[in-house]
Amino acid sequence: MHILALDTSCDDTSASVLKDGSAILSNIVSNQNEIHAKYSGIVPELASRKHIEMIIPVVQEALDTAKLTLKDIDVVAVTYAPGLIGSLLVSVCFAKSIAYALQKPLVAVNHLAGHIYSVFLEHHDIEFPYLCLVASGGHTSLYLVRDFYSYQELGRTRDDAVGEAYDKVAKMLGLSYPGGPIIDKLASQGNKDAFDFPRGYVHNSFDFSFSGIKNAVRLKIAELKELSLSTKQDIGASFQNAVTDVLVRKVHKAVIHTGIKSIAVAGGVAANSNLRAKMQELASDKGYKLYLPSLKFCTDNAAMIAFVGYHLAKAQKYSDLTLNASSTVVS
Ligand code: KG4
Ligand code: ZN
């Protein structure tokens, strides 16, 4: 079965062709970093306009790379929620048009489910249940994953997503967008103990909070006035150390609470070198199984949407052409 999947939930235009649920024949991602960098954050209207421009070339490239044509596609999968509504609408309308023109089934995929199951793209041996931390630019949630399309949210951020906090701290430091990878690099040269930023643990819950640390960084920058490169490196390292401490501690708490010793970390922030290192340390210290997607499957990509689409199609959970995009999660 050939699945063509599309994702335009945020600022990446992506299309992928997946064969029989495991062979990734193509996974094309066109990012918009250059457009949003000058605003140090995503401008939704510019994002949707660029998706309109890119959707046809990206889908064509995905088909060409897979050495297929639209006629070879059996199912069309598309991210319908959550995300930026204008962006989501581009691929939802496009996917519906292809499904209608080809008279092929359509499946609607939740973007967060894409991240939750993205670990299967490279680790075919994962066993259920597992815990999954999804840390991205729009979401930070911890899930108990029981089966395909069966998962329960244990906790979520009460304010900013951790990736959003990275992007905003980068902006405060006068750095470009997306801020996560830039701070990751900057932090490697800094002293993680230079500043003691607050860790928002949100006790007695699996929820997260990152607005406090973001504000603490803002106040520290205002207090310091002049920022040398080494001070920026120290701020980046101390901020990163604090947020990764929180993420790792929450995951550890969930393992103890649920007794589930298999952990996956997904989403753009799962690309962070410090988070990966700390999670690996936790897993090897305690004997937990850890699944980390490689960097290209951490950030937004349509291959993860194709994978979930495959399982929905196998279960015959099709959508009709009344499918609409939604900015919030409809589970
Ligand atoms: O999953 P993703 O591509 O898009 C959403 O669904 O939001 O995540 C993008 C987020 C951005 O906030 C970006 O700054 C962050 O992931 N990110 C990172 C790293 N690479 C991407 N954050 C920290 N360290 C990284 N290496
Ligand atoms: Zn995402």
For the segment 171-183, the average pLDDT, to the nearest whole number, is 95
Q: Whose C-alpha lies nearest to ligand 1, atom 14?
A: 180
| 83 CA to centre of ligand 2 in angstroms | 8
Distance 274 CA to ligand 1 centre (A): 13
Which among 140, 245, 230, 145 has a CA at the least distance from the CA of 188? 230
Rounded-to-integer distance, Cα 236 and Cα 179, Å: 10
Please say if the pLDDT value at position 61 is more than 70.
yes
How far apart are the C-alpha atoms of 169 and 69, rounded to whole Å?
Answer: 44
Mean pLDDT of 55-79: 98
- For 92-112, write each residue's pLDDT tens digit: 999 999 999 999 999 999 999
pTM of the model: 0.95
CB neighbour list of residue 322: distance below 8 Å, 6 or more residues apart: none
Tell me, using a 6 A CB cutoff, whether residue 267 lines ligand 1.
yes
DSSP 8-70: -SSSEEEEEEEETTTEEEEEEEEE-HHHHHTTTS--HHHHHHHHHHHHHHHHHHHHHHTT--G
Q: For the chain, give me the number of helices (H) and strands (E)?
A: 11, 10
Q: What's the first-to-final CA gap in the chain, in angstroms?
A: 26
Q: What is the mean pLDDT of residues 272-289?
A: 98
Residue that is written with structure tokens 């699945």 in the block: 3
130 CA from centroid of ligand 2 (Å): 19
Atom 7 of ligand 1: nearest residue by CA position: 137
HSE-CB at 231 with a 13 A cutoff on CA atoms is: 13
53 C-beta neighbours (distance < 10 Å), count: 12
Candidates 216, 214, 206; CA nearest to 157 is: 206
- In this structure, what are the phi and psi dihedrals at residue 263, rounded to the nearest 5 degrees? -125, 135
Q: Residue 252 has which token pair?
A: 């550890």
Q: Which atom of ligand 1 lies nearest, measured to the CA of 111?
A: 6
Q: Which two tokens stand for residue 70?
A: 């639209």
Ordered DSSP codes for 144-172: EEEETTEEEEEEEBSS--HHHHHHHHHHH
Q: What digits encode the pLDDT tens for the residues 292-327?
A: 999 999 999 999 999 999 999 999 999 999 999 999
What integer pLDDT is reported at residue 116 of this predicted model? 98
Q: Per-residue pLDDT averaged across 253-264, rounded?
A: 98
- Cβ(265)–Cβ(133) under 8 Å? yes
Could you tell me if the CB of 208 is within 6 A of ligand 1? no
Quote the pLDDT of residue 330.
56
Would the CB of 83 count as within 6 Å of ligand 1?
no
Measured from the alpha carbon of residue 299, the closest ligand is 1
Mean pLDDT rounded to a whole number for the chain: 96
Q: State residue 225's pLDDT score.
A: 83
Residue 268 Cβ < 6 Å to ligand 1: yes
Q: Is 236 in the pocket of ligand 1 (CB under 6 A)?
A: no
Report the pLDDT value the prediction gives residue 291, as an integer from 0 to 100. 98
**CA 195 to centroid of ligand 2, rounded, Å:** 30
pLDDT tier, 277 (very low <50, low <70, confident <90, very high otherwise): very high
Point out the ligand nearest to the CA of residue 210. Answer: 1
Whether 293 lines ligand 1, by a CB cut-off of 6 Å, is no
For 198: left if phi > 0, alpha if psi spans -120 to 50, otherwise beta; the answer is beta
Ligand nearest to the CA of 179: 1
| Cβ of residue 11 lying under 6 Å from some atom of ligand 1 | no
Question: Does 240 contact ligand 1 (Cβ within 6 A)?
Answer: no
For residues 183-192, average pLDDT? 97
Distance 102 CA to ligand 1 centre (A): 35
Q: Where do the DSSP E strands lie in 67-211?
A: 75-81, 106-110, 130-135, 140-147, 150-156
Is residue 151 scored above 70 in pLDDT?
yes
Q: From ligand 1's centre to the CA of 243, what distance in Å?
A: 14
